[in-house]
């Protein structure tokens, strides 16, 4: 369980994002969660200088499809970072485990295979309330945290 607000950070420590281009790949599954994560990420990028026209957002059906969507953006766009936004809530079957493991490994593989960082913004919660709490609720918005990570990784990429 998160013990801090995911949206709290020192904004003075965040690089200027005005020269960076970002991709956001958003799962349509659990849209009441993923859209709030997207809004948090998008708004945070803009607050730190990213131009809205330099932020490409696409939707995919579910979290498992995030991998393919991210791969397409990585191959077809000149981006500085990509954020994979999804939500998987534990159910009665092993489907949760298979999807979570597959998405985690897939995003890890993208980070190994491409020189552009892919940020993991996939909530993997035991119940819907945990997801609500982490997508703008009492624990803040994981989308904000991931946007901050994307900006920092974009800056690192530009320096290496």
Residue 59, beta-bridge partner list: 26
Report if residue 1 sits inside a domain.
no
Report if residue 6 sits inside a domain.
no
Report if residue 8 sits inside a domain.
no
As for how many domains the chain has, the answer is 1
Cα–Cα distances (Å) from 104 to 76, 94, 119, 127, 148, in that order, read 22, 16, 11, 19, 20
Return the pLDDT at 2. Answer: 47
Catalytic site residue from 38, 48, 95, 139: 95
Report if residue 54 sits inside a domain.
yes
Does the annotation count 48 as an active-site position? no
Domain range for 66 is 15-159
Tokens (6 digits) for 150: 């994307």
Report if residue 56 sits inside a domain.
yes
Contacts of 157 (CB under 8 A, 6+ apart): 80, 81, 115, 116, 117
Report if residue 4 sits inside a domain.
no
Residue 12: DSSP 8-state: G
Rounded to an integer, what distance in angstroms lies between the CA atom of residue 139 and that of residue 125?
Answer: 13
Report if residue 48 sits inside a domain.
yes
pLDDT per residue of the chain (160 residues) written in tens, 0 to 9: 445 676 788 888 999 999 999 999 999 999 999 999 999 999 999 999 999 999 999 999 999 999 999 999 999 989 999 999 999 999 888 999 999 999 999 999 999 999 999 999 999 999 999 999 999 999 999 999 999 999 999 999 999 9
Report if residue 10 sits inside a domain.
no
CATH number of the domain that 29 lies in?
3.40.50.960
């Amino acid at each position: 369980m998160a013990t801090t607000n995911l949206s709290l950070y020192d904004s003075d420590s965040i690089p200027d994002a005005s020269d960076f281009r970002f991709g956001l790949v958003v799962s349509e599954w659990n849209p009441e969660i993923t859209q709030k994560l997207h809004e948090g990420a998008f708004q945070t990028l803009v607050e730190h200088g990213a131009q809205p026209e330099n932020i490409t957002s696409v939707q995919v059906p579910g979290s498992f499809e995030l991998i393919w969507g991210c791969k397409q953006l990585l191959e077809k766009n000149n981006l500085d970072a990509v954020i994979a936004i999804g939500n998987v809530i534990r159910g009665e079957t092993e489907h949760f485990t298979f999807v979570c493991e597959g998405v985690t490994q897939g995003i890890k593989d993208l980070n190994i295979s491409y020189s552009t960082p892919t940020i993991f913004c996939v909530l993997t919660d035991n119940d819907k309330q945990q997801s609500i709490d982490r997508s703008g609720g009492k624990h803040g918005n994981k989308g904000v945290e991931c946007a901050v990570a994307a900006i920092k990784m974009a800056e690192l990429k530009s320096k290496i």
